[in-house]
Every structure is written in C-alpha cells, then in structure tokens.
Amino acid sequence: MPSATYTLSYLNVFWLLHVIAELPLGILAFLDPAAIPLAHPSGSTLLLIQLLGAMLLTSSICALLCFGLPDYMPGKRAVAIQLLLFHGIVSAVFMRLPDGVVTFQLPAKLLELLPWLGMYRMPIWIAAVHGCIAVLATGWWQATLPQVQAVAAHAKSA
C-alpha cells in the first residue's frame, strides 16, 4: 500500500516557537503560580495564573502534536487559528500594559552581552515575541492554502 507524501511548509516553525515560548511558562504557572513575576498577586490571581498555566501546557502539547501533521488537515488548521488569535491578542495586551505589572527582568549577564535588549520595557519584548508568532502563524495559513485547495479539489473529483 503506497503511503501519501506531503511537504511541510517552512513556516511550520511557528508550532515549535509556540512551544519554546509557552511551555516553560505553562509548567511554572501550573506547578508554582506564585513564582510568576507579577506585582502583588492575590489568591484569586494565583488561581487564574494556574489555570492559564494549564491552558499553556495543553496548547503546547497540541502544537507539538500538530507540527508533523500534513498542513491541509482541518484539526491542524483549527489549532493554528487558535494560536494565531491567542498570540495576536496577548501581543496587543502586553503592548498596552502599564509599568510595574510585570516585574520580570532579563539577567544582567544577558544585558551585558546584548545591551540593546535593555532599550525597551519587558512587556514590549513579550508583545514582540507574541506578535512574531502570530505573524508566522498567519504566513503559515496563507502559504498552505494551496495544499488545502488541492486536497479539497481532489476529494470532490473522487
């Protein structure tokens, strides 16, 4: 029985970027929500952080599972839309975040090596990373549309 062949778009890297960006935070938020560097978290805030951690863990697992699937599969495309919207919205939220909410700072050694990283507030860097992932997800979506159309046309003719 011959196996179906398919090619993955180079933009599939966005699946792995999501995992790299979100899995460590998801594990930390789920297992130890008080360790997340926020100013003055309450008990309710810690609960929400732990729930966010669970969502980040599950979305990272989904991204890992989707990475190697054919790009035309509806389930993969549905998860891609979820990640695109998530990263786009998170980017917008962090762009507008006032000073003092996020207390995380880059390590001093990293700032010594790359001083330009200190030019912007941490929320701006977080927004930029999420924005880049959203743009890559959009690019993946557009680049893989011809595969989806070809599979749909083949299914109609069969």
Which tokens in the block code for residue 42? 């309450």
Whether 1 is in a domain gets the answer no
Give me the residues paired with residue 102 across strands: 38
Q: What is the pLDDT of residue 1?
A: 41
Q: Residue length, the chain? A: 158
Amino acid at residue number 51 = L
Asked if residue 27 has pLDDT above 90, the reply is yes
Average confidence (pLDDT) over 7-22: 90
Mean pLDDT (the chain) is 91
Asked if residue 9 has pLDDT above 80, the reply is no
Q: What is the pLDDT of residue 5?
A: 63
Give one DSSP letter per residue of the chain, joined into a string. -PPP-----GGGHHHHHHHHHHHHHHHHHHH-GGGS-BSS--HHHHHHHHHHHHHHHHHHHHHHHHHTS-TT-HHHHHHHHHHHHHHHHHHHHHHTPPTTSB-----HHHHHH-GGGGGS-HHHHHHHHHHHHHHHHHHHHHHHHHHHHHHHHHHHH-
Whether 113 is in a domain gets the answer yes
Domain count, the chain: 1
Whether 127 is in a domain gets the answer yes
Read off the pLDDT of residues 62-100 as tens digits, 9 standing for 90 and up: 999 999 899 999 999 999 999 999 999 999 999 999 988
Query: Are the C-beta atoms of 53 and 33 separated by less than 8 Å?
Result: yes
Asked if residue 119 has pLDDT above 50, the reply is yes
Whether 3 is in a domain gets the answer no
| Residue-range definition of the domain harbouring residue 63 | 11-157
Asked if residue 7 has pLDDT above 80, the reply is no
Asked if residue 2 has pLDDT above 70, the reply is no
Whether 118 is in a domain gets the answer yes
Read off the pLDDT of residues 131-145 as tens digits, 9 standing for 90 and up: 999 999 999 999 999
